[in-house]
Amino acid sequence: MPSDPSKADLPDAARGEEALIAEFWAPLSIGFDGAFDLKDDCALLAPPPGTELVVTTDAVIAGVHFFPDEDPGAVAWKALAVNVSDLIAKGAAPFAYLMSIALPQMPDHAWLEKFTSGLRAAQERFGCRLAGGDTDRTPGPLSVSITAFGTVPAGSMVRRATARPGDLVYVSGSIGDAALGLALRRDPAMRERLGLDDADCRMLAGKFSRPQPPVALAQDVRACASAAMDISDGLIKDFERLCRTAGAGGRIEVPRVPLSDAARAVLAAGGTSLADLVTGGEDYQVLATIPPEHCAEFERRAEQSGTRVTRIGVITAREDGIVATDADGGAIAFDKTGWDHFRAAV
């Protein structure tokens, strides 16, 4: 405690956590009043009257969710994107997040600049600001645990359990690109072996390292969907979860699953299988069930908001089971239905 009052307001580089907060984290909170410049114990969230708060938390850990040598900006982007993905699937508009970060050592200035640039780009893309957090040292790997907040008009959060037989099943974007991006990262020789071009490889790698959840779709999901969730652990596994939670059966017609041109090229070159693409995980797209009478409106709205949506199946009665079918309508058996973060690693 300095007894010299002239020192009381000097920033002190030796303070570690506090200097980090003031220089790197606090600028990310500008414009969010309830963050109090990250100088208080807590943040204050005052959702507008008539709204409710939707909250989620997901962590990304080096060596589990991203490669230890990943670009720090991509780590930050992904940490926020995987949380925003959950909010979008619930029809919620993201507005704030908390970040609990565990650092193996005090990072250097260049690392911090890259990390915060990635975080800033993500929060601008997704429409939310840093409201608070916690910075710790860890003897383990870098870990970034984010809690994200969105709002919905009261009573309008889109649940997972509310799918009904007869509802049609849609996905946003394309499926399997991130799994291919991961495969390319693990096996760079794949590129030459399959004759993939630069642009395709960059796109696939980007889908794994900087996922782009379809933020503009949130309002369309809220307007039209009977149920929704995000696809993080593989389309098949997550579809199975949605059906089970709803106490329903369901069918996905695998040939209808939307693929990017790059994924089609890899598939054509024999570098992957449809099964790998629909069970690969890390898509961060929306899986939604739409009652038949709202399908036209959902498609129209999605087109207006610039988000690709594709009908891939239907919710059925529980006794019909949960199945994925091939072009002939036959059931496909999978060795694994998806990714288990608890068991797998990058």
- With binding defined as CB under 8 A, does residue 110 bind a copy of itself? no
Query: If you search the block for the tokens 């020789």, which residue do you land on?
Result: 189
Q: Are 162 and 288 in contact (CB under 8 A)?
A: no
- With binding defined as CB under 8 A, does residue 305 bind a copy of itself? no
- Binding segment for a copy of itself (CB under 8 A), chosen from 2-10, 181-189, 266-274, 292-300, is 2-10
CA dist list (Å): 317 to 94, 242, 283, 295, 330: 34, 13, 27, 20, 18
- With binding defined as CB under 8 A, does residue 63 bind a copy of itself? yes
Q: Which is nearer to a copy of itself, 210 or 251 (CB)?
A: 251
What H or E segment, with its residue span, contains residue 340? none
For the CB of residue 192, give the shortest distance to a copy of itself in the complex, in Å: 31
- Helices 261-268 and 177-186 pack at an angle, to 10 degrees, of 60
Q: Are 227 and 89 in contact (CB under 8 A)?
A: no
Q: Are 217 and 172 in contact (CB under 8 A)?
A: yes
- With binding defined as CB under 8 A, does residue 345 bind a copy of itself? yes
Local structure of 241: helix, strand or coil: helix
Q: Which of 230, 276, 282, 283 binds a copy of itself (CB under 8 A)?
A: 230
Q: Which of 29, 78, 90, 222 binds a copy of itself (CB under 8 A)?
A: 90
In sequence order, what are the beta bridge partners of 102? 136, 143
Which sign does the torsion angle of CA 241, 243, 244, 249 carry? negative
- With binding defined as CB under 8 A, does residue 289 bind a copy of itself? no
Local structure of 196: helix, strand or coil: coil
- Binding segment for a copy of itself (CB under 8 A), chosen from 71-79, 113-121, 146-154, 191-199, is 146-154
How many C-beta atoms surround the C-beta of residue 22 within 10 A? 15
Structure-block tokens of residue 124: 């601008």
For the CB of residue 156, give the shortest distance to a copy of itself in the complex, in Å: 10
What whole-number distance in Å separates Cα of residue 77 and Cα of residue 73? 6
Q: Which of 74, 102, 179, 218 binds a copy of itself (CB under 8 A)?
A: 102
- Binding segment for a copy of itself (CB under 8 A), chosen from 168-176, 289-297, 298-306, 330-338, is 330-338
- With binding defined as CB under 8 A, does residue 76 bind a copy of itself? no
- Binding segment for a copy of itself (CB under 8 A), chosen from 102-110, 175-183, 188-196, 265-273, is 102-110
- With binding defined as CB under 8 A, does residue 29 bind a copy of itself? no
Residues between 163 and 222 that touch a copy of itself (CB under 8 A): none
Could you give the residue ranges of the DSSP H alpha helices within 252-294? 261-268, 274-279
Local structure of 93: helix, strand or coil: strand
Q: Phi/psi of residue 245, each to 5°?
A: -60, -35
For the CB of residue 108, give the shortest distance to a copy of itself in the complex, in Å: 15
Residues between 236 and 265 that touch a copy of itself (CB under 8 A): 236-237, 239-240, 243-245, 249
For the CB of residue 130, give the shortest distance to a copy of itself in the complex, in Å: 11
Q: Which of 147, 172, 226, 310 binds a copy of itself (CB under 8 A)?
A: 147
Q: Pattern of binders to a copy of itself over 114-133, x per CB under 8 A?
A: -----------------xxx
- Binding segment for a copy of itself (CB under 8 A), chosen from 121-129, 192-200, 205-213, 321-329, is 321-329
